[in-house]
Structure 1
Amino acid sequence: MKQTGTDVNRMVLHGRAAHPPAFSHRNHEVEFFSFPLVVGRLSGAADQVNVMAPRALLEGCGWLERGEEVTVRGEVRTFNNRSGVGSRLVISVFAKELLLEEREDENRLLLSGTLCKPPSLRSTPLGRTICDMILAVNRRYGRADYLPCIAWGSLAHLCGEMAVGSSLGLDGRLQSRTYTKNLGDRVEERTAFEVSIMNLLPLEEVRLGRELPVRGGSRGAI
């Protein structure tokens, strides 16, 4: 499917670094580092989200230690892992701002994009209705991120009626899910990431610049 234009992709996270940043890769002479961020849910469970940040952002706050609280503003990015190790689709949050502060955990995502595969409507063993979708979210320069999305209940029924090529806006959260994969000679535990849709939004509202403000007082900003 040919994609044109740039879609909305805004992410705000607040949580604790599970490990200090580790070197990931170098691109155009810029070094990038990744670290897992643990973000609590209201249910008491937690999501562990991969964050990617350039060296300059991390050096600006004196690096990050394990357990340190940080707010991340950026966007969700995807790439295909062709190494054969781990999940094929790698989803992370590309950090554009880091803010050291202590406050409640937050996981908020604002997206607009295009439905690029037929939605899959199904029921869980407990009888809840669920809909799986893949949303193509355009970046600049002709690239796009392909994000797995999930909706529940009445929202799942609405999503299930959409056709391939439909444009939609949404807000939600980026959640992690642990599962086991049978590799024949062994069983391996893996983590999958998906966008949990909370609301569908008018495209005009998303594209006209609806913001996701950072709340709370800072201890240090970049």
Structure 2
Amino acid sequence: MADKVLDNNQVTIVGVVDSEFVYSHEVFGEGFYVVEVIVQRLSNMVDRIPLMISERLIDVTQNYIGRTLEAHGQFRSYNKHEEGRNRLVLSVFVRDVEVLDEEPENVKPNSIFLDGYICKQPVYRMTPLGREIADLLLAVNRPYGKSDYLPCICWGRNARFAGKFEVGTHIHLWGRIQSRTYQKRIEGDQVERRTAYEISVSKIECIE
């Protein structure tokens, strides 16, 4: 059963390290650290993806900036309480990581597969330029009765298809993790630059 739950959330990231390791938390004496990697898109844009890595998988005291990492794991969420409200924080929980001398062949640098359930009514809309978009929130089961809540975005025919889903619909989807920056007003005229993450869906199936 545990293996099945692990199989429903699979991520592969190959990217260039762009930060030092920052301490996050400790569980039963095991320290976890966050490091950011840059992943190139086909459009020549980049995504900045945060990796949550155990100190038992890699030497977190070293500086790997500029080095290439290949990481396999799961896309996870947790609620962070700040400014009197909860904010959804997303990162890739790494189960296996390797430092590479060169980029591997035949490996997609940014890929994800999810098996989960629609937990919020999808929002279908059309941009001013006529592009179809649907926003989904997917609940994906995790071991020990927990779940991850992952925002996804569909385009074109996939958006039209997904826009008709009901809450509770069981789906499989494939895609990539993308990042986008936005500005949030925090106090008075102060504006803070933040990064949001979502899954850009390339393929989606409804499971009966």
TM-score (norm 2): 0.89
Matched residues in 1 for 2:85 and 2:43: separation? Answer: 28
Rounded to whole Å, the distance in 1 between the matches of 2:30 and 2:53 is: 10
Letter paired with 1:199: K
* Structure 1 residue ranges without an equivalent (≥5): 205-222
The SS at the match of 1:126 is coil
Give the structure 2 partner of residue 91 of structure 1: 90
> In the alignment, is the contact (CA less than 8 A) between 1:76 and 1:92 conserved in 2?
yes
CA distance in 1, matches of 2:65, 2:170: 40
2:101 equivalent to 1:107: no
How far apart are 1:176 and its partner, in Å? 0.4
Measure how far apart 1:180 and its partner are.
1.2
| 2:65 corresponds to | 66
Map residues 64-213 of structure 1 onto 2, 5 A cutoff.
Answer: 64-84=63-83, 88-101=87-100, 102-103=102-103, 106-183=109-186, 184-201=188-205, 203=207
Report SS of the residue matched to 1:141: helix
Q: Which structure's residues are more often strand, by fraction?
A: 2
Q: Which AA in structure 2 matches 1:81?
A: K
* Cα root mean square deviation, aligned: 2.2
Gapped runs of 5+ residues in structure 2? none
For 1:47-78, what per-residue CA distance to the aligned partner results, in whole angstroms no more than 9, with x for missing partners? 0011001101013x984511110100000110
SS in 1 for 2:82: coil
Alignment size in residue pairs? 199
Q: Report the CA distance shift for 1:147/1:71 in structure 2 as closer, same or farther (over 3 A).
A: same
The residue matched to 2:56 in structure 1 has which SS?
helix
Alpha-carbon distance in 1 for matches of 2:91, 2:85: 14
Displacement of 1:111 after TM fit? 0.4
State whether residues 115 and 134 of structure 1, in contact with CA within 8 Å, keep that contact through their aligned partners in structure 2: yes
Tell me the alpha carbon deviations over residues 90-142 of structure 1, each in whole angstroms, 9 at most, x when there is no partner.
10001111112221671000100000010000111222110001000000111
Q: CA deviation at 1:187?
A: 1.7
Partner secondary structure for residue 81 of structure 2:
coil
Paired with 1:81 and 1:171, the residues of 2 have a C-alpha distance of: 27
Report the equivalent of 1:11.
11
**Range that drifts further, 147-156 or 193-202:** 193-202
Contact kept? 2:170, 2:206, Cα under 8 Å: no
Percent sequence identity is 38
- Cα distance between partner residues in 1 of 2:83 and 2:42: 35
Question: Given residue 36 of structure 1, which amino acid in structure 2 is its aligned partner?
Answer: E
What do the CA deviations read for 1:140-166 (whole angstroms, capped 9, x no partner)?
A: 111000000000011100000111100
SS in 2 for 1:56: coil
- SS state at 1:82 partner: strand
Distance 1:85 1:72, change over 3 A: farther
